[in-house]
Chain A
């Protein structure tokens, strides 16, 4: 039943044997112990599990680990380079863009993908871009501010 996959996560290549039904998020959390990627729902709505798959923001709960074979994954743990926080991480910190922190990794990864495509967004565009990421703490206001700030410094 097991499939052997080779996945590069945050620059490190891992080989593992997984059941086909194992979701990518479970692989990251339970096999690689990268628990920064969270599971907030079971209907592919909340976006807490968002990671980059070959650079594209993806709900890792809606992809099987076997599908990640040969791909490059970036999780929240891989965003800071050499210990320097990514501008998005800094901006979320400075603008109080998080409270409980549970949705935060997914929101940051989604925003990363978004800013790559739209480096100079309006508030309205940011709000639309975050449609796939739920936050129950912040009312989104400071998240929007943080994304805007990050855009300016990226």
Chain B
């Protein structure tokens, strides 16, 4: 329960990002503020100070002020890191959850169809899953991202701009399908042989009715158990892809892009990289604990990831 509360707090904080930006931080999270100044303790301080080290090139962003403005300092374009983290959290959370839902729905359909109809359908779908399974997730995501993100994609009447967060959602959703589809397929295959399903078959129930009334209600708990776990994995994947600059595209932010922004400032302004990572880790921990809790509640016999 505690993890649910923490998760809700994080989600609410990210939803309130515009509010924080406009009424607390009073800074714009998406435009550079290179020449800006703020007032701390009555003194006017530039947001970006010219660097005094080395060749004197480059700038030193302001350190965390721990006050309303620039709470966590600024990045090297003078943008408020704290508000960017809240906005970034929105993207990370949306992508994580949406791709988890997409993944579970796709995997549910594939797993059920493949397990229920068996034979040719199963052979084709299973081999497809095998290939995806053997293909390292990140490499597949990298391939897809490289091709899709560098230009907009047009499929029929739909045009996806390269900056759209739909792209990472779809990419991440697809690459994890085998992880969910395989156990579901196995479960459906064993359900199909159980007495209550056989009884329904004997009573002359058509396939659709079998699927809807007998199979689906029994695999739904498994799919629901996977949701928070996949959301955690997907968020970490999104952050990793964004960190590699093939996820969320600038000027939009996500927790991954902010860690990436912070790498160059790591030794001078470590909070830029540290803060989003902490939030990401906390969110993933809560989702994992939540997943374990949901599993214990819905499906005590399941043994995902070998948990005791």
Do A and B interact? no
Residues of B at the A interface (CB closer than 8 Å) are none
Residues of A within 8 A of B (CB): none
